[in-house]
Amino acid sequence: MGRAQDNFDSDWEVTDVLICGCGPTGAMLSSQLGQAGVPNICLDRETGITTDPRGIALDEDGIRALQSVGIYDKIYSDIGKCMGNFNFVGGVHHDLHRPAFTKMDYATTEGGTGHVGFICHKQPALEKHLRNSLLATKSSQLRVQCTLVSITEDDEWVYAQYEDKNKKRRGIKAKFLVGADGKTGYVRKHYLEAKGVRMEHASLTTYEEDWVALNWKITLPTRESHPDFPLWERGYSSEEVYDLFFPQEFRFLCNPERPAVCGRFGLTNDRLWRFEFVVQQGEDGLHMASPEMIKKVVYPYLVHPGSRYGPGQAHHTEILKGWYQERKQQLEASLAATVENGAFTVHRYTVR
């Protein structure tokens, strides 16, 4: 295949590997190549790292990869923590404290890598340290605010043209090109699929349902912020209230009426909480991601009957109403980011 015309503002820049996309995958590869002394350039269209915590789970092989680029010390100090048990809870209810019918222990290090099974991480922190790692090597370069406009190849090289942040067209030729810009990125949509190359295997392993994913940053209630909160009279501290309503470890809520998953992620003091729920047949995903529907689906999990705290205690059906109102602004911002990046939906298929 012939190369593109030299209609840009500089000569062809030469490198061994051109990486398109500097999310976790692209940054990891660039750092590993850099540490091995392999010249590489990583292009990304954004100015900086993502601020939306999209993926939140990393398995033991991912932890080992982080160790390989020298940032293992950042995992438990800034990136995240061990996920512990995965709790599978059955039944039609809204009780996050109902005992699990089975658990999977991911705190163990008995696997083949010597690491725990999973950590729950903050993607912005993960990307920050991966980028710092690649920038610390002499063989890796990162170019931001760059937009791919063409990819061609011949028997020896791959040629890529891109527009930099000043809208100047530049060219890079590399021995290898890696697409790490996602399923809607230029490499897949405008290069590979145009050549008839499709990720058919990936289409066979997609989720069978659409889901809405919500990230919350929780602020602890205090006696000053919520003086009428009934649990203060029973001796509960702010941390204990947090543990009651946002319990530790992930819960897979196997509710046949609407399956859901929830749990904390990031560091303990970050107080980040993820709640995901399925979009049913006939429901619109964008509508289900609205504040009105979020409150309808999630709120029942965050109210407790007073009877669970002792006889004679009033029913606290409005126990988190004020708390919810305080979180509403952050909730709407989170929803806007989630809807924009499309991270919460996957294709639906009928059950076979």
State the SS3 of the chain. CCCCCCCCCCCCEEEEEEEECCCHHHHHHHHHHHHCCCCEEEECCCCCCCCCCCCCEEEHHHHHHHHHCCCHHHHHHHHEEECCEEEEEECCCCCCCCCCCEEEECCCCCCCCCCCCEEEECHHHHHHHHHHHHHCCCCEEEECCCEEEEEEECCCCEEEEEECCCCCEEEEEEEEEEECCCCCCHHHHHHHHHHCCCCHHHHCCCCCCEEEEEEEECCCCCCCCCCCCHHHHHCCCHHHHHHHHCCCCEEEEECCCCCEEEEEECCHHHCEEEEEEEECCCCCHHHHCCHHHHHHHHHHHHCECHHHHCCCCCCECCCCHHHHHHHHHHHHHHHHHHHHHCCCCCCCCCCC
Domain with CATH 3.50.50.60 in the chain: 13-56+122-200
How much is the pLDDT for 342?
39
User: Mean pLDDT throughout 225-234?
Assistant: 89
pLDDT digits (tens, 9 = 90+) for 282-303: 999 999 999 999 999 999 999 8
5 — pLDDT class (breaks 50, 70, 90)? very low
Q: Among 62, 76, 71, 77, which residue's Cα sits nearest to residue 111?
A: 62
How much is the pLDDT for 339?
46
Global pTM value:
0.83
How much is the pLDDT for 2?
41
**Quick one: fold of 13-56+122-200?**
FAD/NAD(P)-binding domain (3.50.50)
207 — pLDDT class (breaks 50, 70, 90)? low
The average confidence (pLDDT) of the chain is 86
Q: Among 166, 170, 165, which residue's Cα sits nearest to residue 149?
A: 170
Q: Among 24, 14, 107, 75, which residue's Cα sits nearest to residue 267?
A: 75
167 — pLDDT class (breaks 50, 70, 90)? very high
User: Mean pLDDT throughout 33-51?
Assistant: 94
305 — pLDDT class (breaks 50, 70, 90)? confident
Residue 349 has pLDDT above 70, yes or no: no
How much is the pLDDT for 312?
53
Written as six digits, the tokens of 231 are 């649990």
Q: What percent of the chain shows pLDDT beyond 90?
A: 69
Query: Per mean pLDDT, which range of 28-42, 57-71, 311-325, 333-347 is the poorest?
Result: 333-347
How much is the pLDDT for 306?
77
